[in-house]
Amino acid sequence: MLYYLLHPFAEDFQIFNVFKYITFRAGGAMLTSMFLAFFFGKRIISWLRVKQGTGQPIRDDGPERHIIEKAGTPTMGGVLILFPLLVSTLLWADLSNAYVWVMLAITASFGLIGFIDDYAKVKKRTHDGISARLRLIVEFIIASSAVYIISKVLGGTPGVAPHFSTSVAVPFFKDVLINLGPFYFFFGAFVIVGASNTVNLTDGLDGLAIVPVMIAAGSFGLIAYIVGRVDFTEYLQLPYTPGASEMAVFTGALIGGGLGFLWWNAPPARIFMGDTGSLALGASLGALAVVVKHEIVLAIIGGLFVLEGVSVMVQVISFKLTGKRVFRMAPIHHHFEKKGWAEPTIVIRFWIIAVILAMLGLATLKLR
């Protein structure tokens, strides 16, 4: 919005010329989003506390200390991230870019699903919300629709090969694209839904999910900026994705909202993001990977989320087949809690892992 309002004055006032630079607008989106989260944080927390009463129900099979310390903390704190994220993106992004609207739509849609799930949990006073099967069906419908639109936009861009929109780039290899054809729509939807739900599983300790999400978002913001520029893609021998650079503005807004949320979510948390935040943020990461055509790299940069998801799958399969559990509790961060690790120790070590994985993921841009 600001891009359209102020950039036309650049001919008369040189200072407004900065609005044509994506890096400037990404920084502006981050600061705006962070300020909104700071400013409205206390008000939103107070309102949620009044509405929810005893707060989010805590799993009674978890560590005893976890149950005692976190009981009564309000959930649905994802609104404290999503509201600044959506407003800041609308203010600073180029709204003629179709990818911006797709990202806003899928983030808001998954946020709404999470909000309904959180509301059901609070109302029923249980950690079980809406039906998992129903939730997955709705998520796949939304995600596949988004992937279809992204593919149509990219495929209709002048100078882009038609098969590129349904192809997957292979990390570490230059010019290696696997055309999945119609199957790509399912693959892309799986990436988005998978990212959404693994971030949801990771959100179990104060600050555990939001920092790795910001790290991944920052990484994909850089990738988006690079693959959306012909000069950078030619130098790094990456597939060129016209219009993808604008996603840096979206990721800037996401990081700003995340920083503002972390202020209130830092131990001891005054609010939990809940499914409202985790499902939306995970879906946005998955959609970013689809837009910039680096779906496989998401599994590296977001490897921490993959680890959390795999730990649950291993636990369930092992128990059903053998009656034995591999971990003391899943997802895996609860396993370390059961072993006696202090919560800050688990969180910070997982943050370190997220940084290392992000560096490995970004290294794939050059190692081709």
* Band of pLDDT at residue 123, cut at 50, 70 and 90: confident
pLDDT at residue number 59: 56
Mean pLDDT, the chain, whole residue set: 89
Q: Tell me whether residue 5 is in a domain.
A: no
Say how many domains are in the chain: 1
pLDDT at residue number 173: 78
pLDDT at residue number 63: 59
Task: Give the other-Cβ count within 10 Å of 65's Cβ.
Answer: 12
- Ordered alpha helix ranges (H), the chain: 2-6, 22-52, 64-70, 79-92, 98-124, 132-155, 183-202, 210-227, 230-236, 247-265, 274-291, 295-301, 303-322, 332-338, 343-363
Average pLDDT of the residues in 108-119? 94
User: If we measure between CA atoms, which residue out of 143, 135, 185, 126 comes closest to residue 284?
Assistant: 143
Amino acid symbol at 198? T
Q: Tell me whether residue 64 is in a domain.
A: yes
Give the model confidence (pLDDT) of 213-270 as tens digits.
999 999 999 999 999 999 998 888 888 899 999 999 999 999 999 999 999 988 788 8
**Is the predicted pLDDT of residue 10 greater than 90, yes or no?**
no
Residue 119 structural domain? 23-295
Q: Tell me whether residue 121 is in a domain.
A: yes
Does this model's pTM top 0.75?
yes
pLDDT at residue number 201: 95
* Band of pLDDT at residue 333, cut at 50, 70 and 90: very high
Angle between helices 210-227 and 22-52 (to 10 degrees): 150
Q: How far apart are CA 118 and CA 128, in angstroms?
A: 9
Q: Tell me whether residue 354 is in a domain.
A: no
**Is the predicted pLDDT of residue 65 greater than 70, yes or no?**
no
Q: Tell me whether residue 80 is in a domain.
A: yes
Q: Tell me whether residue 361 is in a domain.
A: no
Average pLDDT of the residues in 300-307? 96
Q: How far apart are CA 139 and CA 328, in angstroms?
A: 30
pLDDT at residue number 174: 75
Give the model confidence (pLDDT) of 16-59 as tens digits.
667 788 999 999 999 999 999 999 999 998 888 877 665 555 55
Q: Tell me whether residue 196 is in a domain.
A: yes
pLDDT at residue number 130: 83
Give the model confidence (pLDDT) of 169-219 as tens digits.
888 877 788 999 999 999 999 999 999 999 999 998 888 999 999 999 999
pLDDT at residue number 11: 59
Give the model confidence (pLDDT) of 125-153 as tens digits.
666 778 889 999 999 999 999 999 999 99
Give the model confidence (pLDDT) of 82-108 as tens digits.
999 999 999 999 999 999 999 999 999
**Is the predicted pLDDT of residue 161 greater than 80, yes or no?**
no
Q: Is 267 exposed, middle or buried (0-12, 13-18, 19+ CB in 10 A)?
A: exposed
27-44 b/e (C-beta count within 10 Å ≥ 16 → b): bbbbbbbbebbbebbeeb
Q: Tell me whether residue 11 is in a domain.
A: no
